[in-house]
Amino acid sequence: MLTELETTLLGVMMMVIMLGMGASMTPRDFLIAFRKPKGILVGLLSQFAVMPFLGYMLAILLGLPPALVVGLLLIACMPGGTTSNIFAYFSKGVLALSIMMTTVSTLVAVVMVPLLLDFYGGLAGVPAESSIPPANVAQVLVVLLIPTIIGMVLRKFNPNVGATVELIGSFMGVVVIVFLVVTWVPRNYQLLLDTGATIYAATIGVGLIGMLFGYWVARALAQDTNRARTISLETGIQNGPLAVLVITLSFTGAMQQEVLLIPVLYSLFIVLTSTAITLWYRRSATREALARDAAKLGT
Amino acid sequence: MLTKTDTARPWLAAYGSEIAAELPERAHPSLAHLIAETTRSHAKRRAFTCVVPNGMNGMLRYDQVGAMSDAFASFLRHHCKLPRGARVAVQLPNGLAYPVAAFGVFKAGGVLVNTNPLYTPPEMIHQFRDSGAEVLVICDMFADKLAEVIPQTGIRHVVLAGVPEFFPRIPETIVRGVQKVWTRSLPPVPTLEVPVLRIRAALKIGRGLPKVEDWDQTGPEDLALLQYTGGTTGVAKGAMLTHGNILANLDQVKAMGGRHMTGEDCVLTALPLYHIFAFTANLMTFFALGARNILVPSPRPVQNIQRALENYPVTWVTGVNTLFNGLMNEEWFAAYPPKTLKAAIAGGTALHEAVAARWQAITGTRVAEGYGLTETAPLVSFNPLDQPVRVGSIGVPVPGTDVALVDDNAEPVAQGAPGELLVKGPQVMRGYWNRPEETEKTLQNGWVFTGDVAVMDEDGFLRIVDRKKDMVLVSGFNVYPNEVEDCLSKLDSVLEAAVIGIPDAGTGEAVRAYVVQNPDVTTQVSKEEVVAHCRKHLAAYKVPRSVIIRDELPKSPIGKILRKDLKAEVRDEFAGKA
């Protein structure tokens, strides 16, 4: 489990990430994004309809115990993580769409995550004592909105500070994952060895299948391949550190340890899966661009 | 007729009550005087703000620009032992180091040689040798070229400046870190035979040296700039522009801007300052007014301009057709154009009607087209801002300027007929540096032969028909590429277009169009569509015989489409077939 110091540190780092996210945008960006809202709406659909359902199905099919179900459902219901923007950038995706989806899903999460957890938790028969109080989730998210707003204000009044915060925030996304790896993995080495294949399947599957579904949902709703790839990454990459934070604030002791397992493992593995998928998407994007060029040539 | 001085000026009526017919008496003997006076009278106002794409920025006040350029002048004179009249090459993108270096050169009595930062080593060598430059101020991003260039030139001192130069410490460190680690655009500085200093170190040395005492000895007849121009053929040659030329042109720009240009203005400078358009219109004119310049180091991609427009109350924009077009194709600009904007100035290349109309519709402000050339510092004509928009016109000659339209024998053409545009006025250069023959061809009795074919309306408004040497001769008919390009740019699926002539067995020459797909439109542009559209709007001989769809067109540093590069391709193409 995480010590109190680590939990506090994690909280502070999340604040910095959100500060950076706030500094990366202006109110006008929202107005512009919602002039052509289809991409974002498709993203929200795959984020809050497809992913939670997928998490639930995996939990049922793999027959996970209640504590792990809670962790898996929480991960599945989380909004997009800020690291998704870095992957969108490297996969030659639509960066603006990725940033907007992360932001909008984080805002919507305040309402949607408690509702979804309640609904799927009940459906999966999670006992009351191991479920996350919806108010906790809402509270954490609302608290995180404050640095987001501060970030937006900073950028407005001092572009130098805004841009600096934005950069630090995007680095922090990576730092948090590294932090989780170095603090959690060594202490839980034995646990990793003892963890069964089904848990690994759930952890890796929720991200990977999420990306697959995200892509096809977007394609089915007439998004072009480039936007579909962006939505795909955004769907599969959840805000793992946020899930970890919510859990540490809701549970203690052995229970915390158990619920944390899937979100922590997810945070580690999603980096690997996203890297692989990003490389693949990057190749597809390049190939499509070349094909477009070839079609245009000639007199 | 051309030797007469009492040429009729039918355009004076268009000046109205806003524009004085004659230029005011020159207020300063030289740019050094103007800079000294302005930095004193506007001391605490903001002069230059440089904005990089992520919004990080640095700012210099007028008094800071004054003190720093004094220090740089001392460094040049006493440390580099730069004699008066010696040439200093400045090869910088837009940034805070540019005005410090350029103004320092003027105060040291030197001649500024504006140099494109993207030049290749052979181009640099040519320009530095031709101008006889002794000191080079260069952007650190291009320091790797020095090893090859410096030994082949007379340059004795090199000064390096960065893009985030004079930013506050933290943003400067971050931008430099990003350049070094992320974009890998900061090459190591090679070891050279000549001393190399960073500009901060040069200023430190300069501050410890006495002020240049004879700064006020410079007069209007002294050379201020060697402004290199390639023309459309041949090697680059240096137009000799005097302090008087630039000062006159400043007054001419201010006269045309009238009450719309004040010290409260904020001008977006996305065009490069090493080009004469932005040098005079943005850097010098708005500086002289006590206004604020927002410097954007690179306007490509156009997205780079977003933070500059979002964060500052921009009232004026200078641009070329491609820049306006690019801005309007950005959703953030088209949906929320800057509210503070008063007007835009277009120049450099023909402004397409469709672009001008869209700009007016989107921003609610007008884009006033002007015309000029390097040889005239640059402004020759401009559209009066208080007159109704005259579509396709480059306006009327600016105060103190005479123009004439002549045929191939240098005889004036009839009113309304096309002829080569000749210009005379206080902004006309002294000639080309060390090139008497070229000078003689271009400059006769004080008239500059522009190489542009124009027509004049009865009331003196000018329209450029095209470059004389770009005309396409189809079965004996003149086709002006501009007209065909203008027609093509009205097609929604076309982002931009270029038209040139290709050899044709039947008609001598035939029209070829290069078009670029508009990324915002889902319909793919097709050759058939292009030809059908032209058939509807143009006479048969003007319709492109060949249409080529391209991803992009070759462009000059300020975004002029380079027909000459396309012509060179065509030469290769047809040489191969022969």
Structural domain spans, chain B: 18-311+318-375, 471-577
Contact assignment for B307 to A159 by CB distance below 8 Å: yes
Checking if the pLDDT of B291 tops 90, the result is yes
Give the pLDDT mean for B329-345: 92
Of A28, A167, A293, the CB nearest to B174: A167
Sign, CA torsion A267/A273/A277/A282: positive
- Residues within 8 A of B (CB atoms), A 27-56 only: 28-29, 31-32, 35
Checking if the pLDDT of A299 tops 70, the result is no
The gap between the terminal CA atoms of chain A, to the nearest Å, is 67
**Predicted pLDDT of residue B5:** 45
Residue B336, chain A, CB below 8 Å: the answer is yes
Checking if the pLDDT of A293 tops 70, the result is no
**Predicted pLDDT of residue B234:** 58
Contact between B147 and B33 (Cβ < 8 Å): no
**Predicted pLDDT of residue A272:** 87
CA proximity to B276, closest of B372, B378, B137: B378
Contact assignment for A164 to B171 by CB distance below 8 Å: yes
Contact assignment for A28 to B310 by CB distance below 8 Å: yes
Parallel, antiparallel or unpaired: strands B379-382 and B402-406:
unpaired
What's the pLDDT tens digit per position in A174-203? 788 788 778 777 877 887 788 888 889 999
**Predicted pLDDT of residue A1:** 55
Of A32, A159, A299, the CB nearest to B56: A159
- What is the total count of domains within chain A? 1
What pTM, to 2 d.p., does this model score? 0.84
DSSP for B510-569, please give it: EEEEEEEE-TT-SSPP-HHHHHHHHHHHS-GGGS-SEEEEES---B-TT--B-HHHHHHH
CA proximity to A82, closest of A239, A263, A264: A239
pLDDT confidence of A295, banded at 50, 70, 90?
A: low
Checking if the pLDDT of B284 tops 80, the result is yes
Checking if the pLDDT of A155 tops 50, the result is yes
The C-alpha angle with vertex A80 and arms to A76 and A81, in degrees rounded to 5, equals: 110
Q: In angstroms, what separates the C-alpha of B478 from chain A's closest C-alpha? A: 24
CATH superfamily of B18-311+318-375: ANL, N-terminal domain (3.40.50.12780)
Closest B-chain CA to A168: B174
CA proximity to B365, closest of B341, B390, B329: B341
What's the pLDDT tens digit per position in B354-402? 899 999 999 999 999 999 999 999 999 999 998 888 888 999 999 999 9
- Among the four given CATH numbers 3.40.50.300, 3.30.300.30, 3.20.20.240, 3.40.50.10440, the one describing domain B471-577: 3.30.300.30
Closest A-chain CA to B528: A299
Residue A296, chain B, CB below 8 Å: the answer is yes
What's the pLDDT tens digit per position in A20-76? 888 888 888 888 878 878 888 998 999 999 999 999 999 999 988 888 999 999 999
How many distinct helices (H) and strands (E) make up chain A? Answer: 14, 0
**Predicted pLDDT of residue B199:** 98
How many percent of chain A have pLDDT more than 70?
Answer: 97
Q: Which has more confidence, B335 or B5?
A: B335
Cα–Cα distance measured from residue B123 to residue B121, given in angstroms and rounded to the nearest whole number = 5
pLDDT confidence of B429, banded at 50, 70, 90?
A: very high
CA proximity to A170, closest of A82, A39, A41, A297: A82
Q: Is residue A292 part of a domain?
A: no
What's the pLDDT tens digit per position in B95-122? 999 999 999 999 999 999 999 998 889 8
Contact between B248 and B377 (Cβ < 8 Å): yes
Checking if the pLDDT of A136 tops 90, the result is no
What's the pLDDT tens digit per position in A213-269? 999 999 998 888 888 999 999 999 998 888 988 888 888 888 888 888 899 889 888
Q: Which tokens go with B381?
A: 């004509």
Contact between A202 and A265 (Cβ < 8 Å): no
Checking if the pLDDT of B1 tops 60, the result is no
Give the pLDDT mean for B455-462: 93
Checking if the pLDDT of A96 tops 90, the result is no
Residue B549, chain A, CB below 8 Å: the answer is yes
**What letter does residue B211 receive in the DSSP assignment?**
P
pLDDT confidence of A89, banded at 50, 70, 90?
A: confident
Q: Is residue A29 part of a domain?
A: yes
Q: Which tokens go with B394?
A: 């480059």
Cα–Cα distance measured from residue B96 to residue A269, given in angstroms and rounded to the nearest whole number = 46
Q: Which tokens go with B328?
A: 């309007």
Cα B81 off chain centre by:
31
pLDDT confidence of B4, banded at 50, 70, 90?
A: very low
Checking if the pLDDT of A103 tops 90, the result is no
CA proximity to B446, closest of B475, B467, B425, B466: B425
Whether B18-311+318-375 and B471-577 share one fold: the answer is no
Residue B547, chain A, CB below 8 Å: the answer is yes
DSSP for B11-79, please give it: GGGGGTTTS-SSPPPPS-SSHHHHHHHHHHHTTTSEEEEEE-TTS-EEEEEHHHHHHHHHHHHHIIIII
Checking if the pLDDT of B322 tops 70, the result is yes
Contact assignment for B331 to A166 by CB distance below 8 Å: no
Q: Which has more confidence, A99 or B51?
A: B51
Checking if the pLDDT of A132 tops 60, the result is yes
Tell me the C-alpha to C-alpha distance, in Å, between residue A230 and each of A31, A171, A227, A282.
20, 20, 5, 11
Q: Which has more confidence, B49 or B13?
A: B49
**Predicted pLDDT of residue B6:** 46
Neighbour tally for A149: CB within 10 Å: 12
Contact between B285 and B254 (Cβ < 8 Å): yes
Q: Supply the Cα-derived Rg of chain A in whole angstroms.
A: 19
- Residues within 8 A of B (CB atoms), A 127-166 only: 155, 159-160, 162-164, 166
Q: In angstroms, what separates the C-alpha of B525 from chain A's closest C-alpha? A: 9
pLDDT confidence of B473, banded at 50, 70, 90?
A: confident
Which residues, 6+ apart, have CB-to-CB distance to A59 below 8 Å?
A68, A69, A72, A73, A124, A202
Q: Which tokens go with B288?
A: 């002289």
Alpha-helix runs per DSSP H in A46-133: 51-61, 66-77, 83-90, 95-123
**Predicted pLDDT of residue B276:** 95
Checking if the pLDDT of A291 tops 80, the result is no
**Predicted pLDDT of residue A298:** 36
Q: B357: buried, middle or exposed (CB in 10 Å: 19+, 13-18, 0-12)?
A: middle
Alpha-helix runs per DSSP H in B214-320: 243-257, 276-278, 287-289, 306-311
pLDDT confidence of B465, banded at 50, 70, 90?
A: confident
Cα–Cα distance measured from residue A274 to residue A208, given in angstroms and rounded to the nearest whole number = 8
Q: Read off the amino acid at residue A36.
A: K
Using a CB-CB distance cutoff of 8 angstroms, which residues of chain B are in contact with residue A26? 310
**Predicted pLDDT of residue A250:** 86
Q: In angstroms, what separates the C-alpha of A164 from chain B's closest C-alpha? A: 7
What is the domain range of residue A172? 4-284
Contact assignment for A299 to B546 by CB distance below 8 Å: yes
Which residues, 6+ apart, have CB-to-CB distance to A142 below 8 Å?
A110
CA proximity to A19, closest of A233, A184, A139, A171: A171
Cis before A66 (ω within 30): no
Using a CB-CB distance cutoff of 8 angstroms, which residues of chain B are in contact with residue A31? 335-336
Give the pLDDT mean for B520-547: 89
**Predicted pLDDT of residue B232:** 44
Of B55, B335, B546, the CB nearest to A163: B55
Give the pLDDT mean for A132-152: 86
Checking if the pLDDT of B558 tops 70, the result is yes
Checking if the pLDDT of B293 tops 60, the result is yes
**Predicted pLDDT of residue B2:** 59
Q: To the nearest whole number, what is the mean pLDDT of chain A?
A: 86
Cα–Cα distance measured from residue A79 to residue A77, given in angstroms and rounded to the nearest whole number = 7
User: What phi and psi values does residue B544 have, to the nearest 5 degrees?
Assistant: -55, 130
Specify the DSSP element, H or E, that contains A245. helix A240-250
Contact between B43 and B67 (Cβ < 8 Å): no
What's the pLDDT tens digit per position in B228-282? 987 544 578 999 999 999 999 999 999 999 899 999 999 999 999 999 999 999 9
Checking if the pLDDT of B44 tops 50, the result is yes
Q: In angstroms, what separates the C-alpha of A195 from chain B's closest C-alpha? A: 39
Instruction: Give residue for tokens 């680059």.
Output: B236
Q: A89: buried, middle or exposed (CB in 10 Å: 19+, 13-18, 0-12)?
A: middle
Residue B170, chain A, CB below 8 Å: the answer is yes
The C-alpha angle with vertex B341 and arms to B336 and B342, in degrees rounded to 5, equals: 145
**Predicted pLDDT of residue B131:** 97
Of A32, A159, A296, the CB nearest to B311: A159
CATH code at position A222: 1.20.1530.20
Q: In angstroms, what separates the C-alpha of A174 from chain B's closest C-alpha? A: 16
Contact between B141 and B119 (Cβ < 8 Å): no
Q: Is residue A53 part of a domain?
A: yes
Q: In angstroms, what separates the C-alpha of B270 from chain A's closest C-alpha? A: 19
Q: To the nearest whole number, what is the mean pLDDT of chain B?
A: 92
Q: Is residue A290 part of a domain?
A: no
Q: Is residue A157 part of a domain?
A: yes
The C-alpha angle with vertex B96 and arms to B91 and B99, in degrees rounded to 5, equals: 65
Q: In angstroms, what separates the C-alpha of A97 from chain B's closest C-alpha? A: 13
Cα–Cα distance measured from residue B155 to residue B89, given in angstroms and rounded to the nearest whole number = 9
**Predicted pLDDT of residue A69:** 92
Q: Is residue A30 part of a domain?
A: yes
Which range, A127-131, A268-272, B237-241, is most confident?
B237-241
What's the pLDDT tens digit per position in B179-220? 998 888 999 999 999 999 999 999 999 999 999 999 999 999
Q: Read off the amino acid at residue B545.
A: R
CA proximity to B305, closest of B323, B284, B281, B321: B323
pLDDT confidence of B577, banded at 50, 70, 90?
A: low
- Phi/psi-derived region of residue A297, left when phi > 0, alpha when psi is between -120 and 50, beta in every other case: beta
Cα–Cα distance measured from residue B191 to residue B189, given in angstroms and rounded to the nearest whole number = 7
